[in-house]
């Protein structure tokens, strides 16, 4: 690879982050070396230390920045939403859309959590907890206002997040369904799972034939 122009500027740091993200995703944190990273970027190994002090620092920064961006964008997506159902629909749409475009970041944030040193691990877990709490608060509000029926908010929070994040294991751009159809399918799954029993029954009776809904491409 051609040598990166300059070894101190923000462009080099961005190249290090992008290369690190790809190498950790493809080979795993433990297998990636700083020598390999430097070669990928096109700089001398020693020049890496102008930007990062350790491989652990790079991993921590990548995961922390990912979750902070997740929180920022979620809060933006929830702005102006009043009813719990509207907030939950917005949460689902945001989470699904974001995770369709950030496969590497999501994979690393989940699979390499174990590779973080204790202090870094605690900070990331706290940030993840803040994101989970956004969803838990929506569910709690919905239960209080009679819009949702949830046996246990914490269990429902973890179950919904597992469902929504699971698409990163099977989603491929250009597949049978459009992004909009995938979002709509997840919205229906989540909203129907927390709807009061009578409402869910009526909704299932009025649901359109499967052949008329998401069968695109």
**Closest by alpha carbon to 167, among 152, 155, 183?**
183
When pLDDT is cut at 50, 70 and 90, the band that residue 46 belongs to is confident
CA distance 26 to 29: 9
What is the mean predicted confidence (pLDDT) over 14-29? Answer: 93
pLDDT averaged over the chain? 86
Q: Confidence band (pLDDT; 50, 70, 90) for 19?
A: very high
Position of tokens 């995938």? 182
CA gap 29, 22 in Å, rounded: 10
User: What is the token pair recorded at 121?
Assistant: 């691990």
C-beta of residue 100 within 8 angstroms of C-beta of residue 186: no
Helix residue spans in the chain (DSSP H): 10-27, 34-41, 55-78, 84-101, 103-111, 118-144, 153-165, 179-194, 197-206
- pTM value is 0.81
> What is the spatial distance between Cα 187 and Cα 193, in angstroms, rounded to a whole number?
10
Q: Which domains does the chain have, with CATH numbers?
A: 10-50 (1.10.10.60), 56-212 (1.10.357.10)
- Taking residues 195-215, report their average pLDDT: 49
Report which of residues 167 and 74 the model is more confident about.
74
- Give me the pLDDT at residue 213, please: 37
Asked if the model's pLDDT at residue 203 lies above 60, the reply is: no
């Amino acid at each position: 690879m051609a040598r990166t122009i300059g070894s101190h500027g923000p462009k080099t740091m961005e190249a290090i982050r992008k290369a690190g993200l790809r190498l950790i995703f493809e080979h795993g944190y433990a297998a990636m070396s700083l020598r390999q990273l430097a070669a990928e970027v096109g700089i001398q190994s020693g020049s890496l230390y102008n930007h990062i002090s350790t491989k652990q620092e790079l991993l921590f920064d990548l995961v922390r920045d990912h979750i902070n961006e997740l929180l920022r964008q979620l809060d933006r997506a929830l702005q102006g939403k009043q009813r719990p159902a509207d907030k939950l629909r917005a949460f689902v749409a945001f989470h699904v859309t974001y995770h369709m475009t950030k496969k590497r970041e999501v994979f690393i944030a989940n699979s390499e959590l174990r590779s973080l040193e204790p202090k870094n691990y605690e900070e990331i877990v706290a940030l993840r907890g803040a994101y989970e709490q956004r969803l838990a608060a929506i569910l709690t509000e919905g239960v209080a206002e009679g819009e949702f029926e949830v046996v246990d908010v914490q269990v429902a929070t973890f179950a919904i997040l597992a469902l929504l994040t699971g698409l990163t294991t099977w989603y491929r751009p250009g597949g049978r369904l459009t992004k909009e159809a995938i979002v709509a399918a997840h919205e229906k799954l989540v909203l129907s799972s927390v709807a009061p029993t009578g409402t869910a029954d009526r909704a299932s009776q009025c649901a359109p034939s499967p052949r008329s809904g998401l069968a695109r491409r």
